[in-house]
Amino acid sequence: MSTPVSIHDGPYSTNTLTSKKPLILYFLIIWISILPVLVEIYLFWITFQSNLYLVFLLLPFQIFLCYIILVFSSLICAKALLIIINLIHKPKEGVFKRVKSNKDYFYWNLRAIIKKWPIWVSNLINIQFFEIILLKWFGVKTSFSTSLSNGNIDTEFVEIGKNVIIGKGSFIKSSMIINNYLIIKKIVISDDSIIGPYAYLQPGTHVGENSVVNAYTITKFNQELAANHIYGGTPAKKISMNDFHINDLISEFEEKNNENQTNHFDDSMLNNQKEEKFITKLHIYLTYFFLIYIISYGIPLLLLIYYVSNYFYPYMLEDSNLMILTCDNKSIFILCLTPVIFLALYLLNLFLMTIVIKFLYEFKFKNSLEGKYHWTQKSKEYEDYFIRSFLIRYVKWKILKSPFPWLIKTVFNFIGNCDFGKNVVIEDLYIAKEFLSVGDNVYIGKAMLANHLWDKNLYVKGIKINNNVVISDGCCIAPGTIIENNVDLLPLSITSKGEKLAQNSIYFDAPICKITEDELLKLFNLDLGKMKEFYGDMRC
């Protein structure tokens, strides 16, 4: 199963933003972490400027060295701030009200904001070494013998032993949102364990040594998984003893796979495809892409050339005196200003891209419609859908892959393809491109929201999410779904086309079904009634 290019797996930091003030710290981390990179560029230039051939020869190594410096400078800066923040308010486990006034919730969010930049930088190049360094740096006990395999791992209150395999897309969640509460509890995964793809470990889970958690398994809150056992299902239950070690399992799988290799694909099926499902108007895609690309990159690039040629080079690189960075006030000012210029130009690039796509969307596709289309009848609406998808996919990829994922709500609201209310949290998810309406006080975890579905036809239908809704990680929301007020969707739940979820309810499973608070307690060991009794029903 592939992962959309607009999202990434790996060490995880929530996109929750209780206040905009902590973003000052976020920009400060970015600013400080870029400064050592600029100093290294200066040292490289004054060392090799006399031999331009050598400069170009070493340039790839220089770029990679700059990246390594950026990774570690961002980690050091974030760690320093975390030490200060943790002295002010120590991180702790428990159940907390999900309101700004709750200090534990606020500082949980603040710690996530501080970690976001180094996590983003580390994910630019998918090197597991950097991910493990990052986890260790933020206090996660783990080993370099661990295979992360793009698992979604919280960066605090997690302990991972040696020779552990974390399956792709799995969720190692020491923090969890349910109803209007934040739950934090440490997760421990012991040595030689295997966590299957898309498994979900709830807060407080303790996986015993040499145990296996099968794919799509969901553990209970505070569940203890015994050593040397295989677990599966929801909630996780013992299936059998695990008499194998990791190397034995891999060898047996490869052996059986080689024995059973069979081509199940019937080549004659290709001859029956008389019509192409997709519209491949490459000239239109390329025209729009180059228009967006030239405008969004051209203006910032010209401004960057102007700044480098008139300020950065004359005051930083032209003089080869090493003392210039300590004695010359103008050079020090330019050094400190340059990261701000880089950030401003990057944001200008995002802004210009949004403006161009807004113009194209408004001018060409303002009256786009929902509907059901068959690929043998290529109507104008059918063709327009693919062009709209191309435009929105691009802006979605740019924003969600940027270090400013919070902008996705503002950008989509501005373009007009979606409508987001106030206090909406959008995690790193596969978000619908259009026909998406989200109310106020909504939390959407790392889920999939789809406004189209292929079966016999292309089914395009909007999704309506009302107020005070929580959609947990791993959920799939199908086209046409309507979610009423005060609804919780538990992890890995899947809705059907056109499904309506009743207000003041809890839903779970695939296909999705309504459950009671007593069933929630039985399934996941989550006592929502006790939370409401202690804190009050905050959705009333």
Helix (H) or strand (E) holding 181: strand 181-184
Which residues, listed in sequence order, are joined to residue 177 by a DSSP beta bridge?
A: 182
Predicted local distance difference test score (pLDDT) of residue 279: 59
Predicted local distance difference test score (pLDDT) of residue 277: 58
Q: Which phi and psi angles does 199 have, rounded to 5°?
A: -75, 155
Measured CA to CA, the distance from residue 188 to residue 273 in angstroms comes to 51
Angle between helices 23-48 and 103-122 (to 10 degrees): 20
Residues 6 or more apart in contact with residue 45 via CB below 8 angstroms: 55, 317
Q: What is the mean pLDDT of residues 55-70?
A: 94
- The pLDDT tens digits for 106-152 are 999 999 999 999 999 998 888 889 999 999 999 999 999 999 877 89
- The pLDDT tens digits for 380-390 are 787 888 888 88
Measured CA to CA, the distance from residue 448 to residue 471 in angstroms comes to 10
Predicted local distance difference test score (pLDDT) of residue 291: 93
Measured CA to CA, the distance from residue 35 to residue 74 in angstroms comes to 10
- Write out 446-468 in H/E/C secondary structure: CCEECCEEECCCEEECCEEECCC
Residue 256 clears pLDDT 60, i.e. is over it: no
Q: How confident is the model at residue 465 (pLDDT cuts 50, 70, 90)?
A: very high
Distances (CA, A) of 336 to 28, 32, 65, 347: 11, 9, 21, 18
Yes or no: say if 295 and 357 are a contact pair by the CB < 8 Å rule: no
Answer whether 11-253 and 417-540 agree in fold.
yes
Of 441, 447, 428, 502, nearest to 469 by C-alpha is: 441
Q: What is the mean pLDDT of residues 448-471?
A: 91
Q: What is the mean pLDDT of residues 295-308?
A: 96
- Span of 7-21, 250-264, 486-500 with lowest mean pLDDT: 250-264
Residue 386: CB atoms within 10 A of its CB come to 17
CATH number of 417-540: 2.160.10.10
Q: Where are any strands of DSSP class E within 296-402? A: 371-373
Q: What is the mean pLDDT of residues 156-173?
A: 94
Scanning the structure block, which residue is given the tokens 């960057």? Answer: 304
Q: Give me the sign of the Cα torsion angle 517, 429, 423, 534.
A: positive
- The shares of helix, strand and coil residues in the chain, as percent rounded to the nearest 5, are 45, 15, 40
Q: What is the mean pLDDT of residues 8-32?
A: 91
Q: How confident is the model at residue 269 (pLDDT cuts 50, 70, 90)?
A: very low
Q: What is the mean pLDDT of residues 317-335?
A: 78
Measured CA to CA, the distance from residue 512 to residue 413 in angstroms comes to 29
Query: Class of the 11-253 domain?
Result: mainly beta
Q: What per-residue string of b and e applies to 222-253 under the rule 16 or more CB within 10 Å gives b?
A: ebebeeebbbbebbbeeeeebebebeeeeeee
Tokens of 437: 């309406």
- The domain spans of the chain are 11-253, 275-403, 417-540
The overall average pLDDT reported for the chain is 88
Yes or no: say if 392 and 368 are a contact pair by the CB < 8 Å rule: no
